[in-house]
């Protein structure tokens, strides 16, 4: 082979190897008809595809059923399985008609094994009836901003054209549910044992979510779904470092891969940047407030490397009153707010609290931090 041809082949092979070598994920493509990836803590949308289109959602409906059951305060109560629950079609826990089972166990069976009989039993116990529970579902949807969703049942079976949601709304619901520690635990459980009346062995329910059980190390939970009309639906959560993500796919032939690709995109491209720090505000232009005000919680926001210079933090303070110098009891608890701007749009506001004088050892720390904080972000002070 001529030397020139060998060189060309070598170059082409090198380019091919380079192109498939691991590195930063710069784009994401999914099989799903509708999909979304959001940051769980801020709600920032990191990727979306037809995320606001109303679709059938199948058994991811049960996320709403689970959180309502948990919030009912009845998790330790015993539920009697009705003939209506016993006869529910589709995926089942094979509950026995008339048996008594703790509501908490029903919620585990609902989330891990997608039991439709469990969904109906939960609905009847918490809402009085399936119809009463559907009312509670829609009320909760309204309260948390699921503006393109409507529920008619607790399981997601295709028994009504009026039962639907969107990828975006299901992400909102999951972000809400993940604030509840009991929901987090149940959603992230791989195996649960429950009593089995009349038998010598316990029921053992293994989670259907393959991301959690074997496919993705950073998975923290979620819910699977399938019906003939909705096709495959999936909600999943993942945590890596200090970043928590939620992915939703509707009608996705390759949903496991879709979720892994979205998560890897999110973790690769975004860093969770801490923009506000709990404690004393490091610098203010007004001498009255200097060293006397603080923020009570941290705030972080996911940003790409290119976006970091598009963040701005502004502190707006109440104009101090002359009488406050001698009558500190008149100073309100909240004396201003910290406003975080991204691309000149407000993404977060946190109250600023008046604390009075801070001990000298704390002042020393804040003086050190002040320079680092302002240099990193670029802060508009007072105004």
Where does residue 361 rank: exposed (0-12), middle (13-18), buried (19+ CB within 10 A)? Answer: exposed
> Measured between alpha carbons, how far is 271 from 291 in angstroms, rounded to an integer?
30
Confidence of residue 290 (pLDDT cuts 50, 70, 90): confident
The pLDDT score that the predictor gives to residue 291 is 86
Quote the domain boundaries for residue 148.
34-269
Tell whether the model's pLDDT for residue 378 goes beyond 70.
no
Tell whether the model's pLDDT for residue 8 goes beyond 80.
no
The pLDDT score that the predictor gives to residue 170 is 98
Residue-wise pLDDT for 116-167, tens only, equals 999 999 999 999 999 999 999 999 999 999 999 999 999 999 999 999 999 9
Tell whether the model's pLDDT for residue 29 goes beyond 80.
yes
Q: Is 6 inside a domain boundary?
A: no
Structural domains in the chain (count): 2
> Measured between alpha carbons, how far is 88 from 104 in angstroms, rounded to an integer?
20
Are residue 132 and residue 156 in the same domain, yes or no? Answer: yes
Tell whether the model's pLDDT for residue 25 goes beyond 80.
no
Q: Is 59 inside a domain boundary?
A: yes
Are residue 286 and residue 261 in the same domain, yes or no? Answer: no
Confidence of residue 1 (pLDDT cuts 50, 70, 90): low
Mean pLDDT value across the chain: 89
Tell whether the model's pLDDT for residue 23 goes beyond 50.
no
Tell whether the model's pLDDT for residue 43 goes beyond 70.
yes
> Measured between alpha carbons, how far is 242 from 163 in angstroms, rounded to an integer?
35
The pLDDT score that the predictor gives to residue 198 is 79
Higher pLDDT, 230 or 1: 230
pLDDT (mean) for 299-306:
95
| Residue 308: C-alpha distances to residues 27, 231, 275 (Å) | 19, 39, 10
Three-state secondary-structure class, residue 123: helix
Where does residue 194 rank: exposed (0-12), middle (13-18), buried (19+ CB within 10 A)? Answer: middle
Enzyme catalytic residues: 59, 62, 114
Tell whether the model's pLDDT for residue 361 goes beyond 80.
no
Question: Nearest to residue 268, comparing CAs of 46, 109, 40, 102?
Answer: 46
Residue-wise pLDDT for 179-217, tens only, equals 999 999 999 999 999 999 878 889 999 999 999 999 999
Are residue 217 and residue 303 in the same domain, yes or no? Answer: no
The pLDDT score that the predictor gives to residue 381 is 40
Strands 379-380 and 311-317 turn out to be parallel
The pLDDT score that the predictor gives to residue 3 is 52
Are residue 263 and residue 317 in the same domain, yes or no? Answer: no
Residue-wise pLDDT for 79-88, tens only, equals 999 999 998 9
The pLDDT score that the predictor gives to residue 274 is 93
The pLDDT score that the predictor gives to residue 249 is 98
CATH of the domain at 261: 3.40.710.10
Q: Are 282 and 59 in contact (CB under 8 A)?
A: no
Three-state secondary-structure class, residue 165: strand
Are residue 246 and residue 281 in the same domain, yes or no? Answer: no
Q: Are 362 and 280 in contact (CB under 8 A)?
A: yes
CATH of the domain at 348: 2.30.140.30
Token pair for 365: 């720390």
Confidence of residue 375 (pLDDT cuts 50, 70, 90): very low
Are residue 210 and residue 64 in the same domain, yes or no? Answer: yes
> Measured between alpha carbons, how far is 245 from 259 in angstroms, rounded to an integer?
10
Tell whether the model's pLDDT for residue 330 goes beyond 50.
yes
Tell whether the model's pLDDT for residue 326 goes beyond 80.
yes
Are residue 283 and residue 214 in the same domain, yes or no? Answer: no
Tell whether the model's pLDDT for residue 4 goes beyond 60.
no
pLDDT (mean) for 21-46:
85
Predicted structure pTM score: 0.84
pLDDT (mean) for 5-25:
43
pLDDT (mean) for 344-362:
80
Are residue 249 and residue 286 in the same domain, yes or no? Answer: no
Are residue 264 and residue 279 in the same domain, yes or no? Answer: no
Are residue 236 and residue 355 in the same domain, yes or no? Answer: no
For 229-266, give the DSSP string: TTEEEEEEEEEETTEEEEEEEES-TTHHHHHHHHHHHH
The pLDDT score that the predictor gives to residue 287 is 83
- Of 231, 254, 269, which marks where a domain is finished? 269
Are residue 260 and residue 284 in the same domain, yes or no? Answer: no
The pLDDT score that the predictor gives to residue 20 is 36
């Amino acid at each position: 082979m001529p030397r020139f041809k060998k060189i060309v082949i070598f170059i082409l092979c090198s380019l091919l190897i380079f192109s498939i070598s691991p590195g930063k994920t710069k784009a994401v493509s999914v099989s799903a008809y509708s999909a979304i990836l959001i940051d769980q803590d801020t709600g920032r949308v990191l990727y979306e595809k037809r995320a606001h289109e109303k679709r059938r959602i199948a058994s991811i409906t049960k996320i709403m059923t689970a959180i309502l059951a948990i919030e009912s305060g009845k998790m330790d109560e015993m539920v009697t399985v009705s003939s209506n629950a016993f006869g529910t079609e589709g995926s089942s826990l094979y509950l026995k008609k008339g048996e008594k089972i703790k509501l908490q166990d029903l919620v585990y069976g609902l989330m891990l094994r997608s039991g439709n009989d469990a969904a109906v039993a939960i609905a009847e116990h918490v809402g009085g009836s399936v119809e009463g529970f559907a009312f509670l579902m829609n009320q909760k949807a309204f309260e948390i901003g699921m503006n393109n969703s409507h529920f008619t049942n607790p399981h997601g079976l295709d028994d009504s054209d009026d039962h639907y949601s969107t990828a975006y709304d299901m992400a909102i619901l999951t972000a809400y549910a993940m604030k509840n520690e009991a929901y987090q635990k149940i959603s992230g459980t791989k195996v649960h044992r429950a009593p089995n009346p009349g038998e010598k062995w316990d029921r053992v329910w293994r989670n259907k979510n393959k991301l959690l059980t074997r496919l993705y190390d950073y998975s923290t939970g979620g819910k699977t779904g399938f019906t003939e009309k909705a096709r495959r639906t999936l909600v999943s959560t993942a945590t890596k470092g200090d970043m928590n993500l939620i992915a939703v796919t509707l009608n996705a032939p390759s949903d496991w891969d879709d979720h892994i690709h979205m998560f890897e995109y999110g973790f690769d491209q975004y860093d969770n940047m801490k923009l506000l720090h709990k404690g004393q505000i490091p610098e203010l232009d007004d001498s009255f407030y200097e060293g006397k005000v603080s923020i009570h919680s941290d705030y972080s926001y996911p940003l790409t490397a290119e976006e970091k210079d598009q963040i701005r933090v502004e502190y707006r303070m109440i104009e101090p009153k002359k009488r406050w110098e001698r009558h500190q009891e008149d100073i309100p608890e909240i004396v201003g707010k910290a406003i975080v701007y991204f691309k000149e749009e407000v993404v977060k506001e946190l109250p600023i609290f008046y604390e009075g004088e801070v001990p000298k050892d704390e002042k020393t720390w804040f003086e050190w931090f002040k320079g680092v904080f302002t240099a990193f972000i670029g802060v508009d002070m007072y105004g």
